[in-house]
Amino acid sequence: MQDKIYLDYAATTPCDNRVIDAMIPYFSENFGNPNSLHLYGEKAKGGENRARQQIANLINADFDEVIFTSGATESSNIAILRAMEHIKDRFFATIKTEHKATLTCAETLRRGGVAVKYLDINSDGLLNFEALETLLENVGLLSICLVNNETGALQDIKRISEMCTKNDVLLHIDATQGFGKIPIDVKFLDIDFLSASAHKIYGPKGIGILFCKKTKRKYIRIPNANYDVEFGIRAGTIPVPLCVGFGAAANIAQESMESDYNRIKNLRMYLIDSIKAQLEEIYINGSGSSNYPGIINLSFRGCEGEALMMEANRIAISSGSACTSNKLSISHVLAAMNIRPDIAQSSLRISIGRMTTKEDIDVAIEALINATNKLRKMSPIWDMIKSGIDIDSVFKR
């Protein structure tokens, strides 16, 4: 592992040592149940409340608008599936490039008889607003990823929110890849629900949050639930150590967001410029103007993505999202963007994080260039490309 360079921060992140230090007392000294009235319970409740406020501060939410969950997937399930129980007479809508967690919710709704619409996107991965405008009149809930987990495409949530408000449409944002990395102000954006996970921002796995605007809580409350337990939205004993860890991670993210972003942006440009200077037929998949710079989707034409990933095995990267990277089919995200099949199949996702150094990027550049040159020498596809053969026609056979 010491010889490996980790560049898969979009899949998960290492737990920050400061986060671990914050959690430790709540595994041992302050181990009480936060619902208990004695001193042990009070100390645990204090840690939970502090964490909830730290997370609320990060996104400009109110304290009681932050609900702890097991992760962003559960948060999205609660927001989407429960809300749609109240608005079955209208469509559920999402975009074709959404994370599998949202697409699974959409399929669940469809099987239950709810009409589901999948919105088209442009070739840069951004939402087609003309398509959205024509659809919104009949939509009850729209779910959109803030930052796409494969390409880093950053959606214009403010514009989407304004359109939803105009048409009386509930809006859920999957903020998993942007939470704690770019500024999010839920009041300014005027969104109804937001999902996020701690392990994407150097916090522990197994804990997430659902932001729910107070006026929309009625859509997701459990009937006859105890309001004192997560405001009647989720039952069970709160994992206080994990909550404390998420709070600490959120607090660190708020303090270091600008410096982290700028450093990651510089590393991104250095990586892309260095590779494109030494290799031809390199393509960036996703928006060049509206993106989170820590996620880079590159296609190395003439190489198969998984083969390239295995050849450049000194770096830990992905051939797609972590939830789908074990499949050899073309990513549904790149397919929805109408990326040419041979380019889509040669794609890799490289994601940069807080711990990434320039030396790490230098290793990655060398490894990817060497692997690409080696594979292209053995590739009949590359020979056809160099000979001017129409590769698209080959892939369509």
CB 374 within 8 A of CB 310: no
Distances (CA, A) of 145 to 22, 153, 196: 30, 9, 11
CA 119/CA 136 separation, integer angstroms: 10
**Alpha-carbon dihedral of residues 233, 234, 235, 237, nearest 10 degrees?**
-130
Give the tokens for residue 290: 């509206």
Active site residue 323: yes
Burial bucket for residue 130 (CB in 10 Å: 0-12, 13-18, 19+): exposed
Distances (CA, A) of 216 to 51, 112, 219, 294: 23, 23, 6, 33
- Among residues 386, 68, 57, the alpha carbon closest in space to that of 234 is found at 68
- Among residues 155, 100, 165, 106, the alpha carbon closest in space to that of 129 is found at 155
Question: Which of 15, 145, 212, 323 is labelled catalytic?
Answer: 323
The amino acid at residue 55 is: I
Question: Kind and range of the H or E element at 298?
Answer: strand 295-300
CA 124/CA 297 separation, integer angstroms: 11
CB 352 within 8 A of CB 294: yes
DSSP 320: S
Give the tokens for residue 214: 């107070």
Active-site annotation, residues? 323
